[in-house]
């Protein structure tokens, strides 16, 4: 595994990283990128090599400002992923291309955006992170938002599950091989929890 500091350095440079959760939880890896830095080629890489659903994690304040409403009224998901109704930015065309999705994601992270800037439903799936981040819920949603905060960026990260070539979920051994193949940093949610504890919980931006 790489260090949190190394991962943040790459994220601040506009690169993506792989974040792995606990083997007793989902036992999955996601690509994670900072939403305000996202580009079409990053989205294209995610959907080509990750093959999962592209979602954008935001904090509660952003969700409230943009009027993002949770999809179900009652969760049946055991991990309680807080999906909202999907969105497209009003300046996109079909909304599904890598360029359109990047436009929508950057707009979600833009502090000047409002709810009238988006159409619903769309092709980007916002997720609302729990207050308290990975201390409260050790999910990729909270990890993405916490990493964005460490970058000094808008508290929003974009994630995509990584699926093995045989259609099953990629596990740690597969993820480590992918990280080496593409020279991508790989970290775990538990590392992020530990880092925040060692930095007295409310750790600041990594310079």
Q: Cα dihedral sign for 11, 134, 49, 181? A: positive
pLDDT band at 27 (very low <50, low <70, confident <90, very high): confident
Q: What average pLDDT score do residues 172-191 get?
A: 96
Establish if 207 belongs to a structural domain: no
Establish if 204 belongs to a structural domain: no
Encode pLDDT of 72-126 as tens digits. Answer: 656 565 567 899 999 999 999 999 999 999 999 999 999 999 999 999 999 999 9
- Total domains in the chain come to 1
Encode pLDDT of 163-178 as tens digits. Answer: 999 999 999 999 999 9
CATH code (residue 174): 3.90.870.10
Q: Rounded to an integer, what distance in angstroms lies between the CA atom of residue 85 and that of residue 152?
A: 27
Establish if 158 belongs to a structural domain: yes
Establish if 203 belongs to a structural domain: no
Establish if 206 belongs to a structural domain: no
Q: What average pLDDT score do residues 36-56 get?
A: 98
Mean per-residue pLDDT of the chain: 93
Establish if 94 belongs to a structural domain: yes
pLDDT score of 80: 72
Establish if 28 belongs to a structural domain: yes
Establish if 24 belongs to a structural domain: yes
Q: Which domain holds residue 145?
A: 4-198
């Amino acid at each position: 595994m790489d260090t949190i500091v190394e991962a943040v350095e790459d994220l601040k440079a506009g690169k993506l990283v792989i974040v792995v959760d606990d083997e007793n939880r989902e036992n999955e890896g996601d690509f994670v990128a900072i939403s305000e830095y996202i580009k079409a080629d990053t989205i294209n890489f995610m959907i080509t090599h990750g093959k999962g659903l592209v979602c954008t994690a935001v904090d509660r304040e952003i969700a409230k400002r943009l009027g993002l409403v949770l999809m179900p009224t009652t969760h049946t998901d055991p991990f309680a992923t807080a999906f909202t109704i999907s969105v497209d930015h009003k300046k996109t065309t079909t909304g599904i291309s890598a360029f359109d999705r990047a436009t929508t994601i950057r707009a979600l992270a833009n502090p000047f955006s409002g709810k009238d800037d988006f159409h619903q439903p769309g092709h980007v799936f916002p997720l609302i992170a729990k207050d308290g981040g990975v201390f409260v819920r050790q999910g990729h949603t909270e990890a993405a938002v916490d990493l964005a905060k460490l970058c000094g960026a808008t508290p929003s990260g974009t994630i995509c599950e990584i699926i093995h070539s045989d259609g099953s979920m990629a596990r740690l051994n597969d993820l480590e091989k992918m990280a080496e193949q593409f020279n991508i940093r790989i970290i775990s949610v538990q590392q992020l929890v530990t880092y925040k504890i060692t930095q007295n919980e409310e750790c600041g931006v990594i310079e």
